[in-house]
A and B are shown apart, each in its own frame.
Chain A
Amino acid sequence: MFDLPFLIDEDIAALNAALGDFALASGARLALLIDVGGFIVTQQGDAGDMDTTTLGALAANNFAATQAIAKIIEEHSVSSLYQEGKVNSLLIQSVADCGFLAVVFPSELGVGSVKFYAQDTVARIAAQLAAARSRPGQGLDTLEVADNGPLFRRK
């Protein structure tokens, strides 16, 4: 399991292109890149009213639970998880041990074609993350806290 690297404009543009191309080719409704902690890195497609923040958290933990189950049954190569629905289905695919590609797609599409297009997309994403990881620290902003008071107040 790896940390995600710092991502700059160039990375997000490349990741968005990969997800956008994938959504177009596969017919998926929504494609999200999620880190292992459940954070959404970026997404492409039509989220509509979907609560993607919660989707990211649940998908990441769901996948982690599936991997833990796999270990118990002595299966060490689980790289994807498929949840079949009547209208929308979900495919979660591991990306380079540091995140997941989560795909919401119309169930009528069938998971086979979505998986087929996901393979290339996962490779593109992994390549971009590897490039970001090998980049030295330039381009990063120095972070500055704007307010030193309490962040959260009670009503």
Chain B
Amino acid sequence: MALINQATKEIQLKIVYYGPPQGGKTTNLEKVHAEVDAPPDAKGKLTSLATNSDRTLFFDFLPIETTVVRGFKTKFQLFTVPGQVIYNTTRQLVLRGVDGLVFVADSQYEKMEENVQTFANMIQNLETLNQSLENIPYVLQYNKRDLPNAAPVDYLDFLLNNRETQVPAFGSSAVAGEGVFETLNMITRMLLHKLVTESARKAA
């Protein structure tokens, strides 16, 4: 549900980072905020609504902008959802108006069940908003590749990337900043591609 403002020449897009608890969603936003090479006015404040123990309660939010679309300021709003199951209603709220998704999976063997359950939960929550993965661009990020008990990428692909159309997947170690920007650049490219294609269709 991108917002295209012809008058102010602004495009606004919402990307939500989804995934199991403590999988690295917030870390992704923290790394983007800390390490993106952008002028100060192109990067907003990172806002985190978290519990006392730094677990996401509602969401994290980071606005960031570029001028990649000719003649338009392009603003991306990055959100995370809380990973804990008890906050499922909150996840649904944060998904409202989503344009693109990053599913941050935890590569550790013992987290596979949670990964699969959370992925299914994401699909269910999209359905409550009359949305589906067929019409929302998404990428997978297999996080925590640096840990010794990380499952092979092929196994994560088998579990999470086995739909009719496979999507881009990135190995990452978000705490080290590895894979964070590759993931962000891919989802933003996919969103822009969709936007450009749709604008051409609507303008015709």
Interface code B64-108, partner A: CB below 8 Å = 1, 0 otherwise?
A: 101111111001010100000000011011101110000000000
A151 within 8 A of B: yes
Interface code A102-128, partner B: CB below 8 Å = 1, 0 otherwise?
A: 000000000000000000000000000
Question: Within the assembled complex, what's the spacing in Å between the Cα atoms of A155 and B93?
Answer: 33
Number of A-B contacts (CB under 8 A): 150
| Cβ of B70 to closest chain A Cβ, rounded Å | 4
Do A4 and B67 have beta carbons less than 8 Å apart?
no
Do A152 and B97 have beta carbons less than 8 Å apart?
no
Q: Pick the residue among A39, A137, A144, A154 that contacts B77 (CB under 8 A).
A: A39
Q: A61-B93, A143-B195 are in contact. Are A51 and B45 (CB under 8 A)?
A: yes
B61 within 8 A of A: yes
| Cβ of B139 to closest chain A Cβ, rounded Å | 14
- Number of A positions contacting B (CB below 8 A): 43
Main secondary structure of the interface of B (DSSP, over half): mixed
Q: Pick the residue among B93, B94, B181, B196 that contacts A154 (CB under 8 A).
A: B181
Q: For A53, what are the chain B residues with a Cβ–Cβ distance below 8 Å?
A: 44, 63, 75, 77
Do B6 and A143 have beta carbons less than 8 Å apart?
no
Main secondary structure of the interface of A (DSSP, over half): loop
Question: Within the assembled complex, what's the spacing in Å between the Cα atoms of A41 and B8?
Answer: 9
Do B96 and A145 have beta carbons less than 8 Å apart?
no
Question: Within the assembled complex, what's the spacing in Å between the Cα atoms of A65 and B82?
Answer: 14
Q: For B89, what are the chain A residues with a Cβ–Cβ distance below 8 Å?
A: 68
Do B181 and A152 have beta carbons less than 8 Å apart?
yes
Q: Can you list 12 A-B pairs, Cβ within 8 angstroms, ordered by A?
A: A3-B1, A6-B4, A7-B6, A12-B5, A35-B97, A37-B98, A42-B8, A57-B79, A61-B94, A151-B184, A152-B37, A152-B188
Q: Which 5 A-B pairs have the closest CB atoms?
A: A37-B97, A12-B7, A39-B12, A143-B199, A64-B93
Residues in chain A within 8 A of chain B (CB atoms): 1, 3-4, 6-9, 11-13, 35-39, 41-42, 51, 53-54, 57-58, 60-61, 64-65, 68, 137, 139-147, 150-155
